[in-house]
Amino acid sequence: MKKMFLVGLVLSFLVTFTTAALAARKPVVETALPQMSEQERAALASRAVETLNQQSWTIYLTLQGAKLTAAQTDTLTFSGSGVVSQNLSGKGYGGSQYSLHVQDDGSAVWETVQRDAQNNLAIWRGELRGNSLIGTSSLHSVDGATSLYSFSTSVR
Protein backbone atom coordinates (compact mmCIF):
# COMPACT_ATOMS: atom_id res chain seq x y z
CA MET A 1 0.00 0.00 0.00
CA LYS A 2 2.84 2.36 0.88
CA LYS A 3 4.51 1.54 -2.45
CA MET A 4 1.36 2.42 -4.37
CA PHE A 5 1.05 5.66 -2.43
CA LEU A 6 4.70 6.53 -3.24
CA VAL A 7 4.25 5.68 -6.93
CA GLY A 8 1.11 7.83 -7.07
CA LEU A 9 2.88 10.67 -5.30
CA VAL A 10 5.86 10.51 -7.70
CA LEU A 11 3.59 10.38 -10.76
CA SER A 12 1.51 13.35 -9.61
CA PHE A 13 4.73 15.25 -8.85
CA LEU A 14 6.06 14.53 -12.38
CA VAL A 15 2.78 15.48 -14.05
CA THR A 16 2.54 18.73 -12.08
CA PHE A 17 6.08 19.86 -12.83
CA THR A 18 6.03 18.71 -16.46
CA THR A 19 2.80 20.64 -17.06
CA ALA A 20 4.24 23.71 -15.34
CA ALA A 21 7.44 23.49 -17.39
CA LEU A 22 5.51 23.18 -20.65
CA ALA A 23 3.29 26.12 -19.74
CA ALA A 24 6.33 28.28 -18.90
CA ARG A 25 8.06 27.48 -22.18
CA LYS A 26 7.81 30.30 -24.69
CA PRO A 27 6.49 29.35 -28.12
CA VAL A 28 8.95 29.50 -30.98
CA VAL A 29 7.84 32.17 -33.40
CA GLU A 30 9.33 32.00 -36.87
CA THR A 31 9.21 35.25 -38.72
CA ALA A 32 8.94 34.77 -42.43
CA LEU A 33 10.27 37.34 -44.82
CA PRO A 34 7.55 39.11 -46.74
CA GLN A 35 7.00 37.59 -50.15
CA MET A 36 8.50 39.50 -53.05
CA SER A 37 6.38 40.37 -56.01
CA GLU A 38 7.46 39.15 -59.43
CA GLN A 39 8.29 42.75 -60.41
CA GLU A 40 10.57 43.16 -57.36
CA ARG A 41 12.24 39.83 -58.07
CA ALA A 42 12.77 40.76 -61.75
CA ALA A 43 14.22 44.16 -60.79
CA LEU A 44 16.66 42.52 -58.35
CA ALA A 45 17.65 39.95 -60.99
CA SER A 46 18.29 42.73 -63.51
CA ARG A 47 20.46 44.63 -61.00
CA ALA A 48 22.37 41.42 -60.18
CA VAL A 49 23.14 40.77 -63.87
CA GLU A 50 24.25 44.38 -64.25
CA THR A 51 26.52 44.08 -61.18
CA LEU A 52 28.04 40.81 -62.42
CA ASN A 53 28.68 42.28 -65.90
CA GLN A 54 30.32 45.49 -64.62
CA GLN A 55 33.74 43.95 -63.93
CA SER A 56 35.95 40.90 -63.88
CA TRP A 57 35.79 39.19 -60.51
CA THR A 58 38.95 37.91 -58.83
CA ILE A 59 38.04 34.87 -56.75
CA TYR A 60 40.05 32.95 -54.19
CA LEU A 61 39.44 29.20 -54.37
CA THR A 62 40.17 26.84 -51.49
CA LEU A 63 40.26 23.08 -52.06
CA GLN A 64 37.90 21.41 -49.59
CA GLY A 65 39.23 18.51 -47.56
CA ALA A 66 42.88 19.43 -48.10
CA LYS A 67 45.14 20.31 -45.21
CA LEU A 68 46.65 23.79 -45.27
CA THR A 69 46.41 24.45 -48.97
CA ALA A 70 47.02 27.93 -50.28
CA ALA A 71 44.10 29.58 -52.02
CA GLN A 72 44.21 29.60 -55.81
CA THR A 73 43.27 32.75 -57.68
CA ASP A 74 40.98 32.82 -60.70
CA THR A 75 39.09 35.50 -62.60
CA LEU A 76 35.44 35.16 -63.56
CA THR A 77 34.12 37.36 -66.36
CA PHE A 78 30.38 37.70 -66.83
CA SER A 79 28.94 38.97 -70.09
CA GLY A 80 25.23 39.01 -70.80
CA SER A 81 24.12 35.69 -69.39
CA GLY A 82 27.48 33.96 -69.91
CA VAL A 83 30.48 33.40 -67.66
CA VAL A 84 34.10 32.44 -68.34
CA SER A 85 36.71 31.23 -65.84
CA GLN A 86 40.19 32.40 -66.85
CA ASN A 87 41.89 29.35 -65.29
CA LEU A 88 39.48 26.81 -66.76
CA SER A 89 39.48 28.50 -70.14
CA GLY A 90 43.26 27.90 -70.22
CA LYS A 91 42.53 24.19 -69.59
CA GLY A 92 40.09 23.90 -72.49
CA TYR A 93 36.78 24.63 -70.73
CA GLY A 94 34.52 26.91 -72.69
CA GLY A 95 32.38 29.69 -71.36
CA SER A 96 28.80 28.84 -70.48
CA GLN A 97 25.40 30.37 -69.97
CA TYR A 98 24.36 30.73 -66.33
CA SER A 99 20.97 30.77 -64.68
CA LEU A 100 20.22 33.35 -62.01
CA HIS A 101 17.60 33.16 -59.26
CA VAL A 102 16.75 35.82 -56.67
CA GLN A 103 16.32 34.42 -53.16
CA ASP A 104 13.69 35.67 -50.71
CA ASP A 105 16.40 37.56 -48.79
CA GLY A 106 17.30 39.54 -51.94
CA SER A 107 20.55 37.73 -52.74
CA ALA A 108 21.09 36.43 -56.26
CA VAL A 109 22.28 32.88 -56.89
CA TRP A 110 23.83 31.91 -60.23
CA GLU A 111 24.63 28.42 -61.46
CA THR A 112 26.36 27.04 -64.51
CA VAL A 113 28.09 23.95 -65.90
CA GLN A 114 31.20 24.19 -68.06
CA ARG A 115 32.60 21.36 -70.16
CA ASP A 116 35.93 20.67 -71.86
CA ALA A 117 36.58 18.63 -75.03
CA GLN A 118 36.99 15.39 -73.00
CA ASN A 119 33.61 15.99 -71.25
CA ASN A 120 35.13 16.83 -67.88
CA LEU A 121 32.73 19.08 -65.99
CA ALA A 122 33.09 22.20 -63.87
CA ILE A 123 29.94 22.97 -61.89
CA TRP A 124 29.68 26.45 -60.39
CA ARG A 125 27.23 27.87 -57.86
CA GLY A 126 27.73 31.42 -56.64
CA GLU A 127 25.84 33.90 -54.53
CA LEU A 128 26.00 37.64 -55.13
CA ARG A 129 25.44 39.68 -51.97
CA GLY A 130 25.96 43.36 -52.53
CA ASN A 131 29.37 43.61 -54.19
CA SER A 132 30.80 40.26 -53.16
CA LEU A 133 30.59 36.68 -54.39
CA ILE A 134 30.79 33.45 -52.43
CA GLY A 135 30.19 29.95 -53.69
CA THR A 136 31.46 26.55 -54.72
CA SER A 137 33.04 25.01 -57.77
CA SER A 138 33.33 21.28 -58.31
CA LEU A 139 35.44 19.64 -60.99
CA HIS A 140 34.32 16.22 -62.19
CA SER A 141 36.64 14.28 -64.47
CA VAL A 142 35.48 11.51 -66.77
CA ASP A 143 37.62 9.04 -64.79
CA GLY A 144 35.47 9.72 -61.69
CA ALA A 145 37.74 12.05 -59.72
CA THR A 146 36.05 15.04 -58.09
CA SER A 147 37.56 18.16 -56.54
CA LEU A 148 35.38 20.54 -54.53
CA TYR A 149 36.40 24.16 -54.01
CA SER A 150 34.83 27.01 -52.10
CA PHE A 151 35.46 30.55 -53.27
CA SER A 152 34.99 34.10 -52.15
CA THR A 153 35.80 37.50 -53.55
CA SER A 154 35.28 41.19 -53.20
CA VAL A 155 34.95 43.85 -55.86
CA ARG A 156 38.20 44.26 -57.75
pLDDT in tens, 59-118: 999 999 877 677 899 999 999 899 999 999 999 999 999 999 999 999 999 999 999 999
**What string of DSSP letters covers 65-131?**
T-SSPPPEEEEEEEETTEEEEHHHHHTTPPPEE-EEEE-TTS-EEEEEEEE-TT--EEEEEEEEETT
Comparing CA positions, the residue from 87, 54, 82, 55 lying closest to residue 71 is 87
Residue 128 has pLDDT above 70, yes or no: yes
User: Which domains does the chain carry?
Assistant: 38-153 (2.40.128)
18 — phi, psi (to 5°)? -65, -45
- Which pLDDT score, from 0 to 100, does residue 19 have? 47
Residue 144 has pLDDT above 80, yes or no: yes
Contacts (Cβ under 8 Å, ≥6 apart) of 35:
104
Question: Which of 1-15, 44-58, 87-101 bottoms out in mean pLDDT, i.e. has the lowest?
Answer: 1-15
Q: What is the mean pLDDT of the chain?
A: 82
